[in-house]
Amino acid sequence: MSHSEPVKVEVGLGDRAYDILIGPGLLSGSGTKIAGRLPGTRAAIVTDENVAAAHLETLQAGLEKGGIEAAVITLPAGEKTKSFAHLEEVVDGVLAAKLERRDVVVALGGGVIGDLAGFAAGIVRRGMNFVQVPTSLLAQVDSSVGGKTGINSARGKNLVGVFNQPKLVLADTGVLDTLPIREFRAGYAELAKYGLIDRPGFFAWLEENWQKVFAGGPERTEAIAEACRAKADVVARDEFETGDRALLNLGHTFGHALEAATNYDGARLVHGEGVAIGMALAHRFSARLNLASPDDAERVEAHLRAVGLPWRMADIAGQLPDPETLLGFITQDKKVSRGALTFILTRGVGHAFIAKDVPPSEVLSFLKASHPG
């Protein structure tokens, strides 16, 4: 544990602005950080079984140091927890602890817990205070920032929820040491995404420093902080995703199709791995359309390969559906407007843009060329 000051990134949303604090040892300092912003508060911690086993005691002790008493709601780990049944469990737990609107729901976990607890905080007593303590790399660089919260419906992922910004995000970089390596890599794909969207210098820095990011230390903190700056910028420009925020979907059109094509079977493909392959495909596809150079595509593929991420469809275990079926997943995922698809394409590393006029026939011939067969 380090006692150096955490890095602070501000999300500039006017009267709903908040800080993201990033650094090692933040769980232990959580009580004073929260009490400084929300004096006299009581708390309910929402977490999952894996995270509770590794980090709950540290968080509870940290909250106590700031005089914050906390009830605990522990749920099973995994995507299935983002359900109406578990939402009800969280709402009931918060009410049973007799928390009031000015009290705080603390989400201690990955994106599943953050999305669910943030949604619950948004609806209990018409909206309670809410603090994110993200414990996966994906949650630290993506889901805990920006205020999208919610659960899944039987009809699809993330279909029920609200925009609800937290009051504070505490990204303790030390807790990532207990994260399984495959989950760390998957989160790393989303981290590298910000470099590929509009921060070419950051991508080049990651190519040089990724091993130190994986190992921990100041490079890990700096990489997460830069990712949070990137996301905070986009969110401050376009909180409700009417424009630019769509750039964050780089790699996600192909990625979601591959997740659907593997029946969301995490043993074959987790979300960040789908995004890694999707980002590589988006660069290859852009090169094929003569928008970017093949060297850029090669560079992205080489980096994903270096960190141990999958980067092509052939890296997915088992059979994939044929290219026509994959295209079907893409057109299902997207609104097709007058026969054209919206894609995030690129003019090169760090120069992604929203393309609204991609013909499905181009996508299909590209999928045929990239399919392992």
Ligand X SMILES: NC(=O)c1ccc[n+]([C@@H]2O[C@H](COP(=O)([O-])OP(=O)(O)OC[C@H]3O[C@@H](n4cnc5c(N)ncnc54)[C@H](O)[C@@H]3O)[C@@H](O)[C@H]2O)c1
Query: Catalytic site residues?
Result: 126, 148, 190, 231, 241, 245, 249, 252, 256, 271
Binding status of residue 77 toward ligand X by CB under 6 A: yes
How many residues touch ligand X under the rule CB under 6 A: the total is 29
Q: Is 143 in the site for ligand X (CB under 6 A)?
A: yes
The CB-side HSE value for 144 (13 A sphere, CA atoms) comes to 36
189, 151, 150, 149: which is closest to 169 by C-alpha? 149
**Collapsing DSSP states into helix, strand and coil, what is residue 83?**
coil
By the rule CB under 6 A, 79 interacts with ligand X: yes
User: DSSP characters for 88-127?
Assistant: HHHHHHHHHTT--TTSEEEEEESHHHHHHHHHHHHHGGG-
Q: Is 48 in the site for ligand X (CB under 6 A)?
A: yes
Residue 179 found at the interface with ligand X (CB under 6 A): yes
Within positions 237 to 266, which residues make up the interface with ligand X, using CB under 6 A? none
Tell me phi and psi for residue 337, to 5 degrees. -105, 120
Segment interacting with ligand X, rule: CB under 6 A, options 62-70, 142-150, 210-218, 307-315: 142-150
Q: What angle do CA 334, 337, 341 make, to 5 degrees?
A: 50
Our finding on whether 135 is near ligand X (CB under 6 A) is yes
Q: Which of 354, 351, 353 is nearest to 341 (CA)?
A: 354
Residue whose CB is less far from ligand X, 82 or 199: 82
Which of 50, 164, 262, 370 binds ligand X (CB under 6 A)? It is 50
Rounded-to-integer distance, Cα 362 and Cα 373, Å: 18
**All residues at 6 or more sequence positions from 55 whose CB lies less than 8 Å from its CB, including other chains:** 27, 47, 108, 135, 175, 178
Span interacting with ligand X, options 140-148, 239-247, 308-316, 357-365, rule CB under 6 A: 140-148
Distance CA 368, CA 326 (A): 10
Q: Which residue is nearest to ligand X (CB)?
A: 111
332 binds ligand X (CB under 6 A): no
Q: At what angle do helices 271-288 and 252-261 cross, to 10 degrees?
A: 130
Tell me: does residue 142 bind ligand X (CB under 6 A).
yes
Please identify which residue in 111, 122, 166, 255 interacts with ligand X, judged by CB under 6 A: 111
Is 207 or 233 the residue whose CB approaches ligand X more closely?
Answer: 233
Residues paired with 344 in a beta bridge:
354
- Among the listed ranges 87-95, 98-106, 172-180, 285-293, the one in contact with ligand X (CB under 6 A) is 172-180
Q: Which is nearer to ligand X, 149 or 286 (CB)?
A: 149
Question: What residues line the site for ligand X (CB under 6 A)?
Answer: 48, 50-51, 54, 77-79, 82, 109-113, 115, 135-136, 138-139, 142-143, 146, 148, 157-158, 175-176, 178-179, 183
